[in-house]
A = this chain, B = another copy of it.
Amino acid sequence: MIANPIPWPGGARCAVAMTWDMDADSAFNWYNKDTADTLVAAQSWTRYDPLIAIPRLVEQFARRELRLTFFVPGWVIEKYPAQIDLLATHGHEIGLHGYLHERSNEIGEDDELYWFGRGLDAYKRHLGKGPRGWRAPSFAFSKHSLRVLLDTGIEYDSSLMGDDIPYALREAGGNRSLLEFPTDWTLDDFPHYAHNRDLGYRMPISAPLRAMEVFRSEFDAAWEFGGLWISVWHPALSGRLARFKAALELLDYMRDKGGVWFARLDQICDHVQQLIAAGRWTPRVETLPIYDSPLPEFSRTG
């Protein structure tokens, strides 16, 4: 089922990276620039993330000796430094996730650079070094993003959805590349749990056991076929009591099934880099940009 199977450490059948996007109130502000200051319920809903969920997650993962990857916008690092320290001292990886959860593919190149730079500065200022990994806020990876990441020395991205296992993103016309650890909307928790007028979601809310049917089916398939399972969960959603309880039960299920490599993305990055260096495995390469411009076919001269 997987054309180019990757060997996981210790003969594990699959890799599980339960990653979290700690957006706090950044995304909500980005989407409601002019009114966010008066949307107090949404403020409280999004601040549940750093104030309530993050300490909970840290405590529970410590009990299970799990170290995970959290993607955090620079503005959130500045605003909630204690939570970042808590994550870091417990061995969790902090990946960069923009500055104010900007949607890079909806702003111009200059603006993308501006916000990226601000996010990077905030990260370095607080953590003392740059991040190894990046996830574009809202998955809004633009046609400029790869170059920006490469210029900064970012080693991996986890914003795209083009495979079931790691692959490489290469810059067209150059030799530079980085690793892509793909996910899919299916493993995001918004489609299952989000109902919030202020965030533009007016959808049914799934029970945790129904959402877990989705996440578990993805895990079972990864386990059977050798894939990489990367959740994109949000503390404001999946960190709430009933859902987090179900998430812990899913972790138990995974652990009991056996043969699972639980890893941070930087550990997966190390592993894949070593495989490549040792010539033991070669990633599929996707060269960006896919298109140089909007399709010329639409002008009917293409």
Using a CB–CB cutoff of 8 Å, the interface residues on chain A facing chain B are 1-3, 25, 29, 33-41, 43-45, 47-48, 51-52, 55-56, 59-60, 75, 99-100, 105, 114, 136, 138-146, 159-164, 182, 184-186, 188, 190-193, 195-197, 200-210, 213-214, 217-218, 220-222, 224-225, 227, 240-242, 244-246, 284, 286, 288-295, 297-298, 300
Cβ contacts under 8 Å, A213 to chain B: 207, 209-210
Q: Are B44 and A162 in contact (CB under 8 A)?
A: yes
Q: A3-B52, A40-B290 are in contact. Are A214 and B224 (CB under 8 A)?
A: no
Cβ contacts under 8 Å, A288 to chain B: 40
Cβ contacts under 8 Å, A200 to chain B: 202
Cβ contacts under 8 Å, A188 to chain B: 195
Q: Are A142 and B40 in contact (CB under 8 A)?
A: yes
Q: Are B195 and A191 in contact (CB under 8 A)?
A: yes
Q: What is the distance, in angstroms, from A44's C-beta to the closest C-beta of chain B?
A: 3
Q: A293-B37, A294-B34 are in contact. Are A44 and B161 (CB under 8 A)?
A: yes
Q: What is the distance, in angstroms, from A157's C-beta to the closest C-beta of chain B?
A: 10
Cβ contacts under 8 Å, A56 to chain B: 1-3
